[in-house]
């Protein structure tokens, strides 16, 4: 089934739920939909590769871009190109709070500077890099903004740039991607 057909099926299913249609997708259509997209919950485990750092992640369909906790962030130039140097906090039980150990220095090409609007705080400009990540059956390069998230419960925030075309979020569940 092509993504355009799946999108149409999702729209029909959503509208049926909203307006109480008597026509619902068939069991075959639902099966095809479930195999086309990975189902994930409101919280999941994410592994950053090749470092194999496994973090608890909050799935945020309102966030445009993924974000990951990074410490000692420093921008620099290499061969006339912009790069960023930082350390990941080492997760313990998927958490990476204040006082966590740090990984070795990581260096990645800077993909862009992302303006972040914060409610109740000043806006920020965050560096963004592409990282290899795995969430359930998804394994791919995804852009992440870097910021110190040690004060937050989840060191990783998964946004729409990873979700779109890859996953369907069921907010009533948590940690379901591991089960597949």
Please tell me the predicted confidence (pLDDT) of residue 24. Answer: 66
pLDDT in tens, 26-78: 767 665 665 567 899 999 999 999 999 999 999 999 999 999 999 999 999 99
Higher per-residue confidence, 3 vs 29: 29
Please tell me the predicted confidence (pLDDT) of residue 26. Answer: 72
Give the gyration radius of the chain's Cα atoms.
18
Any idea which residue has 């086309």 for tokens? 36
> Residue 5 region, left (φ>0) first, then alpha (ψ -120 to 50), else beta?
alpha
In the chain, residues under CATH classification 2.40.70.10 are 39-179
Under the banding of pLDDT at 50, 70 and 90, the label for residue 17 is very low
Burial of 174 (0-12, 13-18, 19+ CB in 10 A): middle
Please tell me the predicted confidence (pLDDT) of residue 109. Answer: 98
In angstroms, rounded to a whole number, what is the distance separating the alpha carbons of residues 131 and 160?
A: 15
pLDDT in tens, 90-145: 888 778 777 778 889 999 999 999 998 877 888 889 999 999 999 999 999 999 99
Strands (E) located in the chain: 38-41, 43-49, 53-59, 66-69, 71-78, 81-87, 106-109, 112-116, 124-135, 138-147, 156-158, 167-170
In angstroms, rounded to a whole number, what is the distance separating the alpha carbons of residues 132 and 147?
A: 17
Entry pTM: 0.78
Q: Which residues pair with residue 167 across a beta bridge?
A: 38
Whether the predicted pLDDT of 163 surpasses 50: yes
Q: Which fold has domain 39-179?
A: Cathepsin D, subunit A; domain 1 (2.40.70)
Please tell me the predicted confidence (pLDDT) of residue 129. Answer: 98
For residue 172, the tally of other CB atoms under 10 A from its CB is 7
């Amino acid at each position: 089934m092509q993504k355009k057909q799946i999108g149409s099926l999702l729209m029909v299913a959503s509208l049926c739920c909203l307006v109480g249609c008597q026509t619902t997708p068939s069991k075959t259509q639902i099966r095809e939909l479930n195999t086309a997209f990975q189902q994930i919950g409101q919280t999941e485990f994410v592994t950053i590769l090749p470092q194999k750092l496994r973090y608890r992640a909050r799935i945020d369909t309102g966030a445009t871009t993924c974000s990951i906790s990074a410490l000692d962030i420093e921008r620099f130039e290499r061969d006339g190109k912009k790069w960023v140097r930082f350390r990941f906090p080492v997760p313990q039980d998927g958490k990476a709070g204040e006082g966590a150990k740090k990984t070795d220095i990581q260096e990645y090409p800077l993909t862009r500077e992302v303006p972040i609007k914060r409610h109740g705080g000043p806006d920020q400009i965050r560096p963004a890099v592409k990282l290899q990540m795995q969430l359930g059956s998804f394994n791919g390069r995804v852009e992440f903004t870097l910021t110190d998230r040690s004060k937050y419960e989840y060191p990783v925030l998964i946004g729409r740039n990873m979700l779109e075309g890859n996953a369907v979020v069921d907010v009533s569940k948590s940690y379901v991607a591991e089960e597949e």
